[in-house]
Chain A
Amino acid sequence: MTERIRVQDLAKTFLGAKGEEIRAVDGVSFVCREGEVFGLLGLNGAGKTTTLRMLSTVLTPTAGTALVNGHDIASDPQAVRESIGFLSGTTGLYPRLTAEETLRFFGEFHGLEGDRLDSAVERVLETFGITKYRTQRCEKLSTGMKQKVNIGRAVVHDPPVLILDEPTSGLDVLAAATTLEFVESCRAEGKCVLFSTHIMSEVERLCDRVAIIHEGSVRASGTMAELRERTGQRYPEEVFRAVVGNVE
C-alpha cells in the first residue's frame, strides 16, 4: 500500500503565557497508508492536535519533517493543503453562509470551477443528505446537519488524505454516528485517514493501526492486536493505561 503520510521526528515548541518554552510535540514519527485509518490516541494536551495542525500546515514545526501525499509540509505547504481534507472539533462554519454557499466557496478555494464545481457540490449534498437544507444558513442548521456540511466542506475536492482531529467531540449520538460512518466509507474508497481521538470505542471500531501519544511523544504504535499482545491487556482502556502509566 502506498504511503500517504510519513512523519519523522516532528517537534513543536510554543512560548507560554509568561514567555516560557512549552514542548508540545517532541519527536513524533509514524506512517499512514492509503486505505487505512490510523488512530492517534492520547489524553487531552498529549500533543495530538498540535501534530495534526503541523501536518495540515497551519502550524510550522520547530524540528523534524513530514510528507503528506508526497509533499513536504515545510517546503510545499500549498500542495499539502490541496491533498488533504481537514476536520476538527474547532473548525467552524461561516454562520451567515448557506450550506451550498459554504461548499461552493471551499470548492472554489480548491480550484474547482464550472461543471466540476457544480457536480462536486451536488455529489456532497446528495452523499450527506443535505440537499433539502442547501439554502439554509449554517447558523440555522442542527448540530448534526452542521457536522455534515463541515464534513462536506472538507471533502468537496475529493482529497486522498483526511486528517480528522477529534471529529466527534461535542456531537450528539446521531451526528457522531454520521461522522464514524463517513470515516468507514473513506477507508472503503481507499483514502488515508489520520484520526485523533481519546474515545476507545471509536479506536476499536475504526482504526487499523494506532499510535499512543503521551506528553508529546509516541509511546507505542501498531495494530490493537499487537498492542494487546505487548501489554498483556484485553480492553483498549487497559492497553492505553499500560502504555502511558497511571496519570493523575
Chain B
Amino acid sequence: MRLSAVRRVAQKEILESVRDRNFLVNVVFLPIFLFPLIGFGVMQVMQIQSGASSRDVAELGIDSGTPAAVEDSLRAAEQLRLVPPPSSFDGTPDGFRAWREAEGADALLRWTSGERDTARLWFDGSRERSERARDDVAAAVDEWRLDRERGELVAVGLSESDLEPFTIESEDLASARQRGQEILAAVLPLFLMMMLATGSYYAALDTVVGERERGTWETILVSPLARAEILVGKYVFVVASSLTSLVLNLLSMAIFLSFVLRMLGDDLSEKVQLTLPWSAGLIVVGVALVAALFYAALVMLLASTARTHREGQAVLGPVYLLSMLPGIVTAVSQDPFTMKQAVVPLLNVATLFKSVLGGEMPPGPILVTVAVLVAATLIVLRLASRAAARDDLFVGRQISLKELLKS
C-alpha cells in the first residue's frame, strides 16, 4: 500500500467535505455550538421559570377555626394569599373541587378543634402552585406544633438545652477539583460518545454512500489506486472527521463551562474546579482516538451495505442512536469500571471515560478496553474491505450484513 496514494484520497475527501454545507453544519458547527446553545437554553428556561414562579401567587382557603399562629405564619409566606372559602362551600372534597374550578383556588385548609386538633388540607398534586401551597401549610403547621410542644415542656420545668440534647455538624471534605471531576464524569461521557458518532456518521454517509449515488465510485475504481488504498484513504478521512467533531466539542465545552463558572461568581469557582490531571487527560484522548478508529470502521462497513443516501440513513440511523446508549447508561449507573464492561465495545469506552474523569484509573480494564477496540477495529476493517471488493454494487443489489459476514 502506497501512503502517498492514501494521502491523496484523504485530501480529496477533505477538500470535498469542507465545501459541503451539510457536512460543515453537522461536523463543525454543531459540535461548537451545541453545548453553549443547550447551556444558554437551559439557563434561559430556568430564569423564565424562576421569574414566573416568583410572580405566581398561590391562593389558599382557610376557615375560621385555624389557630392564629398558623394563620400569621401563612400570611407571612411570600407567594401565598389567604382567601376565605365561599359561603356556599359545604366542607367536602367535591365542594373544594367546585370552588377551585369556579374561582381557581389552589388549596384549602380545614381546621377542626377538639380533644385532638385535625388539620385537613385539600390540594391538586398535578399543579405546581397547589403543591407550593401544600408545602407552605406543612411548614407553618410544623412550626406551630414545635412552638406548642416547646411551650408545654418549658412549662413542666425543662430547659432549652434539654430540648436539644445534641447538635449535628457536617463538613464537605471534597476538594474543588474532586467536585469538578464528579461533574465532568457525569456530563462528558455522553457528549464524547455523541460527538464521536456524529463526526463518523456524516463522513461515512458522504464518502461511501454519496460516492456511489453520484456515480464517482466507478470513476475512482478505474484509476490505478488499489482498493485498499482507496478504502484506507476514506477511512483516514472518517476518523479525522470524528476526531474533529470531538475536539471542537471539547474546546467549546471547556470555554463555555469556564464562562459559566466565572459568571456565577467567585464563590462557586472556589467550590468547583473543572480541571483534569494530565494522566487522566492523556488516557481520555488516547482512548477517544482508538474509539474513533473503531467507530469509523463500523460505520464505513455498515454504509457499504447501502446503495443510496436513504438506505444509508436507514442503516446508520439506528446505530447512531444505539451508540448513545452506553453514554446514557453510564450517566445513570454507579457501577465501577470492571473487566466485564471492558470487553463490550462502546460500553467500555463510555464507562472508561466516566471512571477516568471521576478520578479512577484501573489499569486492567483500561488496557483490556484498548485491546478489545483494536481487535474489533481490525475485524470490522477486514469486513469493510471485503464489502468494497464485492461486485454487487454494480448490479444494483443491496448487500445484507449477514451476507457480508458469511462472505
CA distance A106 to B12 in the complex (A): 10
B222 within 8 A of A: yes
A221 within 8 A of B: no
The residues of A that contact B226 with a CB separation of less than 8 Å are 78
A94 within 8 A of B: yes
CA distance A97 to B214 in the complex (A): 13
A70 within 8 A of B: no
Q: By the criterion CB–CB under 8 Å, are A94 and B216 in contact?
A: yes
* Residues of A56-95 contacting chain B, CB below 8 A: 56-60, 78, 81-82, 84, 86, 88, 90-95
Q: By the criterion CB–CB under 8 Å, are A92 and B223 in contact?
A: no
Q: By the criterion CB–CB under 8 Å, are A153 and B395 in contact?
A: no
Give 1 or 0 for each of B209-253: 1 = CB within 8 Å of chain A CB: 000001110111111111000000000000000000000000000
Q: By the criterion CB–CB under 8 Å, are B391 and A106 in contact?
A: no
Main secondary structure of the interface of B (DSSP, over half): helix
Chain A: residues with Cβ within 8 Å of the partner, total of 35
Distance in Å: Cβ of A93 to nearest Cβ of chain B:
7
Q: By the criterion CB–CB under 8 Å, are A93 and B216 in contact?
A: yes
B19 within 8 A of A: yes
Choose, from A107-115, A128-136, A199-207, A225-233, the stretch at the interface: A107-115
The residues of A that contact B19 with a CB separation of less than 8 Å are 96, 137
**Nearest-CB residue, chain A, relative to B212:** A92
A101 within 8 A of B: yes
Q: By the criterion CB–CB under 8 Å, are B12 and A92 in contact?
A: no
CA distance A59 to B20 in the complex (A): 31
Contact of B215 among A60, A82, A92, A153 (CB under 8 A): A92
State whether A58 and B5 are in contact (beta carbons under 8 Å apart), knowing that A15-B397, A109-B224 are contacts in the complex.
no
Q: By the criterion CB–CB under 8 Å, are B222 and A94 in contact?
A: no
Q: By the criterion CB–CB under 8 Å, are B16 and A96 in contact?
A: yes
CA distance A14 to B396 in the complex (A): 11
* Residues of A164-211 contacting chain B, CB below 8 A: none
State whether A81 and B214 are in contact (beta carbons under 8 Å apart), knowing that A97-B15, A105-B12 are contacts in the complex.
no
The residues of A that contact B220 with a CB separation of less than 8 Å are 109
B394 within 8 A of A: yes
CA distance A153 to B8 in the complex (A): 16
The residues of A that contact B223 with a CB separation of less than 8 Å are 81, 106, 109-110
Q: By the criterion CB–CB under 8 Å, are B216 and A109 in contact?
A: no
**Nearest-CB residue, chain A, relative to B395:** A14
A53 within 8 A of B: yes
Distance in Å: Cβ of A176 to nearest Cβ of chain B:
18
Give 1 or 0 for each of B331-362: 1 = CB within 8 Å of chain A CB: 00000000000000000000000000000000
Q: By the criterion CB–CB under 8 Å, are A17 and B397 in contact?
A: yes
B128 within 8 A of A: no
Q: By the criterion CB–CB under 8 Å, are B12 and A94 in contact?
A: yes
Q: By the criterion CB–CB under 8 Å, are B397 and A58 in contact?
A: no
Distance in Å: Cβ of A235 to nearest Cβ of chain B:
34
Distance in Å: Cβ of A159 to nearest Cβ of chain B:
10
Distance in Å: Cβ of A69 to nearest Cβ of chain B:
12
Distance in Å: Cβ of B111 to nearest Cβ of chain A:
77
Contact of A58 among B12, B225, B394 (CB under 8 A): B394
